[in-house]
Chain A
Amino acid sequence: MWYVLPVTPNAPEKPILQGEAELADAIARARTGDAEAWGGLYRRFAPAIFRFCRRALPTREDAEDATTEIFMKVHEKFGQYDPQRPFSSWLYKVAANHCWDTLRRRHTRQDLETGDSETLPLESSDPGQLTRLIDEQTNNGVRSALAQLPPRARMVLVLRYYSDFTYDEIAEALHLPREAVGVTLLRARHQLRRVLEPRQPAAHPATGDHS
Chain B
Amino acid sequence: MNHFDEASCLLYLDGQMDARRSAEFSAHAAMCGECRAQLDALERESRLLGEALLEQDEPLPIRLREVPLPPSASSSWTHWVWALSFGLAAAAVLVFWAAVQPLAEQLDQLGLQTSSLLSTLVFSGAFWEGWESMFEALQYAALISLGVLVLAFWRPWRRERIAVAMTLLGLVLLLSLPSSASAAEIRRGPSAGVTASETINNDLIVFGSMVRIDGTVKGDVIAFAQDLTVNGHVTGDVILFAQRARIEGQVDGNVRAFGSAVSLDSGAAKNVMVFASHFDLDPRATVGGGIIGFVATAALDGKINRDLLFFSGNTTLDGTVGGDVLYRGQGLRIGSTAQVGGRTRVVGQRAPDVAPGARLAQPLEFQFQPAPRPGRFGRVAAGTFVFRQILAYVGAFLSGLLLIKLFPGLFAAARKATQRVGLAMSVGALVLVSGIAVVIFAILLIIVGTGAGIATLMLYIPVLYGSQVFVGSYVGERLMRKDQALAPSVGALALGLLILRLLSNIPFLGFFVAAAILLWGTGAICMALWERTRQDATPAVPATA
A48, A143, A189: which contacts B45 (Cβ < 8 A)?
Answer: A189
B5 interface residue, CB < 8 Å from A? yes
* Complex CA–CA separation, A147 to B233 (angstroms): 68
Chain A 155-168: CB-based contact to B (< 8 A → 1; otherwise 0): 00110111000010
Q: Shortest distance in angstroms between B486's beta carbon and chain A's nearest beta carbon? A: 4
Residues of chain B within 8 A (CB-CB) of A124 are 5-6
A71 on the B face (CB < 8 A): yes
- A134 vs B50: C-alpha distance when bound (angstroms): 13
A186 to B221, CA, bound (A): 77
Chain A residues in 8 Å Cβ range of B46: 161
Question: Complex: how many Å from CA A50 to CA B65?
Answer: 11
Of A3-11, A108-116, A201-209, the stretch lying at the interface with chain B is A3-11
Q: A38-B67, A43-B67, A185-B10 are in contact. Are A6 and B55 (CB under 8 A)?
A: no
B7 x A46 contact (CB < 8 A): no
**A58 CB-CB contact with B under 8 Å:** no
Contacts of B531 in A (CB 8 A): 9
Residues A2-33 near B (CB distance < 8 A): 2-7, 9-11, 13, 15-16
Taking a contact as CB atoms under 8 Å apart, the answer to whether A182 and B11 are in contact is yes
User: B95 to chain A: which residues have CB within 8 Å?
Assistant: none
Q: Complex: how many Å from CA A9 to CA B541?
A: 10
- Shortest C-beta distance, B217 to chain A (Å), equals 51
CB within 8 Å for A54 and B58 given contacts A13-B542, A38-B67, A75-B70? yes
Q: How many A-B residue pairs have CB under 8 A?
A: 172
Shortest A99–chain B CB gap in Å is 14
> Does A42 contact B51, Cβ atoms closer than 8 Å?
no
A1-B6 CB under 8 A given contacts A6-B535, A67-B64, A131-B40: no
Q: Could you tell me if B65 and A64 are in contact, using CB atoms closer than 8 angstroms?
A: no
Chain A contact surface mostly = helix
**Contact pick for A3, options B7, B41, B69, CB 8 Å:** B69
Contact flag A161-B49 (CB < 8 Å), given A6-B412, A182-B14: yes
Tell me the B residues contacting A by CB distance below 8 Å. 5-7, 10-11, 14, 16, 34, 37-38, 40-42, 44-46, 48-61, 63-71, 75, 78, 404, 408-409, 412-413, 486-488, 490, 531, 534-535, 538-539, 541-545
A120 to B46, CA, bound (A): 23
Q: Are A143 and B56 in contact, with the CB atoms below 8 A?
A: no
Total interface residues on A, CB under 8 Å, equals 61
Closest to A185 in B: B10
Pick the most buried of B37, B67, B70, B404: most chain A CB atoms within 10 A of its CB: B67
* B542 closest partner in A (C-beta): A13
Interchain CA distance A137-B45 in the complex, whole Å: 10
Query: Do B70 and A76 have beta carbons less than 8 Å apart?
Result: yes
Tell me how far the C-beta of B162 lies from the nearest C-beta in chain A, rounded to whole angstroms: 12
Q: How far is the CB of A153 from chain B (nearest CB, A)?
A: 12
Whether A200 is near chain B, meaning CB under 8 Å from some CB there, is no
Q: Is the CB of B60 within 8 A of A47?
A: yes
A19 CB to closest chain B CB, in angstroms? 13
B residues within 8 A CB of A71?
A: 68
- Give the complex CA separation of A161 and B10 in angstroms: 13
* B66/A6 in contact, CB under 8 A: yes
